[in-house]
Amino acid sequence: MNTSVCERCDSSINVTIIYVDEIPVTYCKVCKMSLFSKKRSVGRPSIGITKKVSLTLTKDDWEQFDAQAKSNRSLFLRKIIVKALNEEDSSENR
Ligand SMILES: [Zn+2]
């Protein structure tokens, strides 16, 4: 393990690997807290449901994508998506 960065918020404070529905996730303390509080409340489920998505990109985009994803496309996409969803959440609240 070289980089310990929270995959949800990119924080490096108190980052540990936890298992959520048998899926290892690298979360910081804050995200762990919000994960467990979310589990009890009604809302969008956290990590645990896998759905397949077909994605069409140009060859160049795929090359860039794979270069940035560093052989873990799912993790990379999850980071982007969670970030985007969080941004949407916080902009709706304003
Ligand atoms: Zn975090």
Compare 3 and 83 and report the one with higher pLDDT.
Answer: 83
| Mean pLDDT of the region 62-77 | 90
pTM for the model stands at: 0.43
Share of the chain above pLDDT 70, in %: 79
Compute, in angstroms, the gap from residue 8 CA to the centroid of ligand 1.
Answer: 5
Compute, in angstroms, the gap from residue 9 CA to the centroid of ligand 1.
Answer: 4
How confident is the model at residue 1, as a pLDDT? Answer: 45
> Above 80 in pLDDT, residue 2?
no
How confident is the model at residue 39, as a pLDDT? Answer: 57
Compute, in angstroms, the gap from residue 35 CA to the centroid of ligand 1.
Answer: 10
| Mean pLDDT of the region 68-91 | 83
| Chain CA centroid to CA 50, Å | 13
